[in-house]
Amino acid sequence: MQMTIGRCGPVCFSCSAPPSKSYTHRALIIAALADGQSDIIGQLDADDTRMTARALMQLGVRLDWCRENIHVQGTGGHLKAPAEEINIQDSGTSMRLLTGVSLLADGPVVLTGSARMQERPLGPLIDTLNNAGAKITSLKNPGCPPVRIDGAFPAGDLYVDGSISSQFISSLLIAAPYADNDVHIHLTGDPVSLPYILMTIDSMRAFGAEVFVEGDEKEPVFTVSSQKRYKPQTYGIEGDFSSSSYWFALAAICGGSATISGLNPLSAQGDRRLLEILVNMGCTITEKQESIILSRDPGVLLKGIEVNMADCPDIVQTVCMVAAVSSSPSRITGVHHLRMKESDRIWAIANGLTTLGGRVETEEDAIVIYPAPLHGGIIHPENDHRTAMSFAVLGCFIGDVTILDAGCVTKSYPGFWEELRRIWQNAVLC
């Protein structure tokens, strides 16, 4: 499947934010560990979240996925070890969050995935758990899936390197209420994506867990009580700032306005920081009770920006597309961990923009984008949904941009192309 994007002028549109992928993953797993039936309302139905649901069912969880909600019969923290391996395919969130949780099963669990998944790092999480008494073995590449997980979830002090992925910490946090005693999670290294950890804690507390946060941002300590385990809940999924970023960026790049409903302005999601970044680049934000409006007068030039995005990696590509049409250079730092996502996203940004005539420089932890005349071209996202969606938005400004393997967006946003087609067809001068 491929999509060719035509150029459109100023836009003026409204749409609803898709449900949060991150919150759907977390709610599914936490509800599976609660003691009783939970109802998850308004979930994201995408490849990744379905992967987590299928994995939980293999671990003995009864789950009924309906159109508007999911009924989850929790296990009280007692999972069943499946006879066959669990294939996570391309869902890194599923792999990492379920690694810690699999220690709650009554026997060994093998987690595997796609060829790319078998290259993605899991070592810091494996090392943390093994140093505390677990028995986790990489079956192919050292420190990567597939992994065989055995033993019990440890209590006490756990030390984990947080410089590669916040999901290592979230994996420990989610399983921690079922340790024999309280768990104290210490972060080492320079932690990235801290807002995702706060989202995990937010989800845990909603289901009755008790989590304390001590220390500072560089050396936080998370204490999880073993006396407060998850209770079944009716839990609504809020809108996703990550997926909504493409619509805000579309209005920023093409000019006009985007009105997005279903977003929580006070959300723990780190990607809501996009709004602040786009304001600094020349856009205007208006918050109403039910929606957030981003606008840019087509006569106002976008400005480049210097910004550290270590805490919001999923919107780096989106911001880079806006930077590519700005009137001055942009320098985006804190991005080293993007090399270990679904693809090497630093390479993907540089290669894609260069293909379209852009001028980009990359460093170990930075991307620098300079103003340059852009033209059409072909983008191969290498099975990375965020690459496909971000370059599609830029294509609406350039025109004649073809996205190969366009179906990869079903990983997080199955309705993306339909929504983009609707917006493009109805683009009007505001």
| 11-25 per-position pLDDT tens digit | 999 999 999 999 999
Q: What is the pLDDT of residues 44-102, one digit of tens each?
A: 999 999 999 999 999 999 999 999 999 999 999 999 999 999 999 999 999 999 999 99
Mean of the per-residue pLDDT values for the chain?
94
Same-fold call for 3-18+239-425 versus 21-225 = yes
Half-sphere exposure of 249 (CA within 13 A, CB side): 32
Share of the chain above pLDDT 90, in %: 87
Grade residue 193 by pLDDT with cuts at 50, 70 and 90: confident
Q: What is the pLDDT of residues 322-346, one digit of tens each?
A: 999 999 999 999 998 788 777 788 9
Q: Which pLDDT does position 142 carry in this prediction?
A: 94
Q: Phi then psi for 178, rounded to 5 degrees?
A: -105, 10
Q: What contacts 207, CB < 8 A, 6 or more positions away?
A: 30, 31, 34, 38, 230, 231, 232, 233, 235
Q: Which pLDDT does position 426 carry in this prediction?
A: 78
Q: Over 80: is that where the pLDDT of 191 sits?
A: no
Query: Looking at domain 3-18+239-425, which CATH architecture does it have?
Result: Alpha-beta prism (3.65)
Q: Which pLDDT does position 84 carry in this prediction?
A: 96
CA distance 352 to 247: 20
Tokens read off for 206: 């909603």
Lowest mean pLDDT among 280-284, 373-377, 398-402, 426-430: 426-430
Grade residue 424 by pLDDT with cuts at 50, 70 and 90: confident
Q: What is the pLDDT of residues 362-405, one digit of tens each?
A: 998 999 999 999 999 999 999 999 999 999 999 999 999 999 99
User: Judging by DSSP bridges, how do beta strands 366-370 and 401-403 pair with one another?
Assistant: unpaired
* Residues with catalytic roles: 314
Q: Over 90: is that where the pLDDT of 104 sits?
A: yes
Helix (H, G, I), strand (E, B) or coil at 72: strand
Domain 21-225 in CATH 3.65.10.10: yes
- What are the boundaries of each domain within the chain? 3-18+239-425, 21-225
Q: Over 70: is that where the pLDDT of 429 sits?
A: no
Q: Over 60: is that where the pLDDT of 430 sits?
A: no
